[in-house]
Amino acid sequence: MKFSGQFDGLFDEVFRRFKKKENTAQTEAQELELERKNLLNPHSEFFIREAYKTLRTNVNFALAGESKSKVIVVTSSLQSEGKSITALNLSITFAMAEKRVILIDCDLRRPKQARLLQIQSKKGLSNILLDSNLLQSAIKPTGLHENLDCIISGAIPPNPSELLGSVRMEKVLEELRQNYDYVVLDCPPINMVTDAMVLAPHSDGVLFVVRAGQSEKGPVTHAVEQLQYANAKILGFVLNDVHAEGSGYGYGKYRYGYYRRNGYYSSRGYGYSRGYGYGDGYGYGYGYESQPPAEKQEAP
Ligand SMILES: Nc1ncnc2c1ncn2[C@@H]1O[C@H](COP(=O)(O)OP(=O)(O)OP(=O)(O)O)[C@@H](O)[C@H]1O
Ligand SMILES: [Mg+2]
């Protein structure tokens, strides 16, 4: 049998695409392996374990007097500042302290926890918010600690802010408060979408992640002002990804810092040199939802 000339090169193309797919899969696997190295475990470097213990203690101080079980929003000003890693590692430290913890991936736009924790299930928060009967079956063990469960984000919905701000979401949090000491919410960044802002009032406080060498004063200030206008309780600031060289600790490459309210501007200073523009495709990819300035409240 003879193929006509129109098939010339077809097999080369199929092979090329196959190879490309294989390479992409390899790169993704390597990236995942690298990312999972940031997860806290008993073999993590001493200074990282200590920094997270300090973070846990300080969060507990900041939450003192709040309800018995605590809901904590983890957010930042912009993308890729370390919210998801911080939320997960904070959850792990609470679990290590014999607390029952559930981490919810509330980033319904750029979800991360299912990948980080390698949870295969498709069922997650968005599904629960459409059908509350799914709550129990969407709770998954993380495999990292017996005290730590997770609800992944689920199918990406067209209306994340509405779902997160719904009465159903409130009810889900109330129900989880009954069974867990800590409910940690991994949220999108404040300056990109309103999601974290709608969750803040249903939480006991907000933990704000700042990434050294990346986060900048303007966006951070803007985000903090948004939270303040909304009367959210800011528990504190996590200074993530500080290079240890010359910064005092000197144990290896990274350290995590925790800075109490009013104390987060590190000695590095934050500048405008990179010029963040909100229009240039941060990958939240659903159109930047501009936030109308929240109504200014009188200071108490
Ligand atoms: N301290 C750190 N040391 C090394 N890598 C880090 C650190 N913090 C974050 N990263 C890496 O930076 C990337 C972004 O982290 P992460 O996903 O936690 O950020 P995010 O703020 O949740 O991002 P997004 O806005 O997309 O939700 C990941 O690849 C993560 O592994
Ligand atoms: Mg994230």
The Å distance, Cα 97 to ligand 2 centre, comes to 24
CA of 209, nearest ligand number: 1
Produce one character per residue of 237-246: b if its CB has 16 or more CB atoms within 10 Å, e if not: bbbbbbeeee
Query: Which residue's CA lies nearest to atom 1 of ligand 1?
Result: 241
pLDDT in tens, 101-129: 999 999 999 999 999 999 999 899 999 99
Rounded to an integer, what distance in angstroms lies between the CA atom of residue 160 and that of residue 168? 13
DSSP class of residue 37? T
Nearest CA to ligand 1 atom 25: 79
The answer to whether 254 and 212 have CB atoms below 8 angstroms apart is no
Counting from 1 in the atom list of ligand 1, the atom nearest the Cα of 76 is 21
**So what's the pLDDT on residue 2?**
56
What kind of architecture, by CATH, is found in domain 14-259?
Answer: 3-Layer(aba) Sandwich (3.40)
Walking along the chain (300 residues) 10 residues at a time, the average pLDDT comes out as 64 79 81 92 91 94 84 97 97 97 97 96 95 95 97 95 96 96 98 96 96 95 96 94 55 42 32 27 38 40
Burial code of 37-62, b = ≥16 C-beta within 10 A, e = fewer?
Answer: ebebeeebeebbbebbeebbebbbeb
- Closest atom of ligand 1 relative to the 79 alpha carbon: 25
Q: What is the pLDDT of residue 22?
A: 74
Alpha-carbon distance of 95 to 262, in angstroms, equals 28
Residue 264 burial (CB count, 10 A)? 20
Minimum-distance ligand 1 atom for the alpha carbon of 192: 25
> Which protein residues touch ligand 1 with a CB less than 6 Å away?
35, 38, 76, 79-85, 107, 110, 112, 189, 240-241, 254
* Residues ≥6 apart with Cβ < 8 Å to 231: 201, 297
**From the CA of 88, which ligand is nearest?**
1
DSSP letter for each residue of 190-208: TTT-SHHHHHGGGSSEEEE
Ligand 2 centroid to residue 17 C-alpha, Å:
30
Q: What is the 3-state secondary structure (H, E, C) of 118-184?
A: CCCCCCCHHHHHHCHHHHHHHCEECCCCCCEEEECCCCCCCCHHHHHCCHHHHHHHHHHHHHCCEEE
| Distance, CA of 86 to CA of 208 (rounded, Å) | 10
Paired tokens of 52:
């997270």
Q: Quick one: which of 75, 51, 70 has its CA closest to 60?
A: 70
Q: Determine which residue's CA is closest to atom 10 belonging to ligand 1.
A: 82
Q: Which ligand lies nearest the alpha carbon of 242?
A: 1
Hey, where are the domains in the chain? 14-259
What's the CA gap between 202 and 225, in Å, rounded? 18
Residue located nearest, by CA, to atom 15 of ligand 1: 82
Calculate the CA 93 to chain-centre distance.
16
Atom of ligand 1 lying closest to residue 242 CA: 1
Taking only the tens place, the pLDDT of each residue in 274-292 is: 222 222 233 444 333 434 4
**pTM, entire model:** 0.81
DSSP-assigned beta bridge partners for residue 104: 151, 185
Mutate which of 73, 80, 86 for ligand 1? The one with the most ligand atoms within 8 Å of its CB, which is 80
Q: How far is ligand 2, taken at its centre, from the CA of residue 111, in Å?
A: 6
**Which ligand 1 atom is the nearest neighbour of the CA of 81?**
21
Tell me if 78 sits within 8 A of 276, measured CB to CB. Answer: yes
Residue with CA at minimum distance from ligand 1 atom 8: 82
| Contact assessment for residue 103 and residue 184, using Cβ atoms and an 8 Å cutoff | yes
- Tell me what pLDDT residue 7 has: 67
pLDDT attached to residue 206: 97
- Ligand 2 center to residue 105 CA distance, Å? 8
Question: What is the rounded (10 degree) CA torsion for 43, 47, 51, 54?
Answer: 100
For atom 29 of ligand 1, the residue with the nearest CA is: 35
Spatial CA neighbour of 55 closest among 84, 92, 105, 81: 92
